[in-house]
Amino acid sequence: MAEETNRKDVDETAEQEEKSGAKTFTDAVSEKIDKAAEKVKPVVKKATKQVKEKAKPTVKAVKEKAKEVKKAVDNKLYEHEVIVQFAGNSYYAKDSNEKAIEDYVAYGGKRDQIKQIQLYIKPEENACYYVINNKTTGRVDL
Same domain, yes or no: 15 and 57 = yes
**In whole angstroms, what is the distance from residue 122 CA to residue 116 CA?**
20
Residue 101: its pLDDT value, please? 92
Instruction: Say what the pTM is.
Output: 0.46
pLDDT above 90 (res 72) = no
Domain count for the chain:
2
Q: Are residues 21 and 58 in the same domain?
A: yes
- Domain boundary, last residue among 42, 75, 108: 75
pLDDT of 44 reads 85
**Contact residues for 138 (Cβ-Cβ < 8 A; gap 6+):** 100, 103, 104, 107, 129, 130, 132
Q: Residue type at 130?
A: Y
Domain that holds residue 22: 2-75
The per-residue pLDDT for 139 is: 92
